[in-house]
Amino acid sequence: MMGKEALSSAFSEMILEEAKKDKDIVVVCTDSRGSAKLGAYPDEVPEQFVEMGIAEQNSVTVSAGMAYMGKKVFTIGPASFYSMRSAEQVKVDVAYSHNNVTVIGISGGISYGALGATHHSLQDISLMRAIPGLTVMIPSDAVQMRKITKELLESPRPTYIRIARSGVPVIYDENTEFKIGKAKRLTDGKDAAIIVCGQLVATALQAAEELKEEGINVSVVDMFTIKPLDTEMIETVAKECGCILTLEEHSIYGGLGGAVAEVAAQTEMVPLDICGIPDEDVPNGTDQEVFKYYKMDVQGIKDRVKILISKKSK
């Protein structure tokens, strides 16, 4: 891994570069240009920037209107508000209407930490992946974020992207290619598979490295696209590894774990452990403190993998 970089910064740098070349690119923001790390974008291309204030529902609808007129629109703000408060607008104005809008939810999951449940977005993936016609992604590092943004500019589609607030470890090098809907297998191991997304990919890789030192070889799969889901990859690791641990910064209901379980139940039944946030009020704290509390840290992942492997022979 090569240092840390915030995904919002990666997006802002990429979209500014592209916006200078393409007047149809527009960024819409909801009083969060600082949190979104938009930097110089509003000043350098002011005619391609819209500040909506604290009005996420309006932001999505206005974005959809501009997209209908041919603009390539990225609307960015807190994931907790864009997913829940603006759910109907995302469903109807963006997805149902097939408008070229990318909704970027910043500070996703438990990034807002101590601000509590009102600012956590732990149900957004469950909601968004149930909306027909909507692509859903949780990028794992800044390189991936830049490449995904580039692909969305070239292949427009209604999309929801959720990213973390702070800098996350850089996993990929700049030459890595990504395709929306295709997972990246980062390690090969036949003892167990960890299917993971977002900032927890780096944690899973560290756990896999430590497990390898103990003689346990694990496959780590970065499932950065939750919808469309790479079902072929799920079936492959299920057959090769015989058990799967899913890991996500989301409720255990309806997120990545639920999506993987739906595939496994219909194709390749193996022991499966869905590791995420349980159905309860989350204690306030930093994301890393909460991960440790719920045993979603390196040690917790290692322990769960070992338990899963023990169930393979039963």
Domains of the chain by range and CATH?
4-169 (3.40.50.970), 184-307 (3.40.50.920)
**What is residue 148's predicted lDDT score, i.e. its pLDDT?**
94
**What is residue 284's predicted lDDT score, i.e. its pLDDT?**
85
Residue 245: which of 163, 310, 169 has the closest Cα? 310
Which residues are within 8 A (CB) of 196 and not within 5 positions of it... i.e. 6 or more apart? 203, 204, 220, 221, 222, 223, 246, 247, 248, 256
**What is residue 241's predicted lDDT score, i.e. its pLDDT?**
96
**What is residue 167's predicted lDDT score, i.e. its pLDDT?**
85
The position carrying tokens 């989350």 is: 282
Is 0.85 surpassed by the pTM of this model? yes
The parts of the chain modelled with pLDDT lower than 50 are none
**What is residue 268's predicted lDDT score, i.e. its pLDDT?**
77
**What is residue 164's predicted lDDT score, i.e. its pLDDT?**
87
**What is residue 313's predicted lDDT score, i.e. its pLDDT?**
64
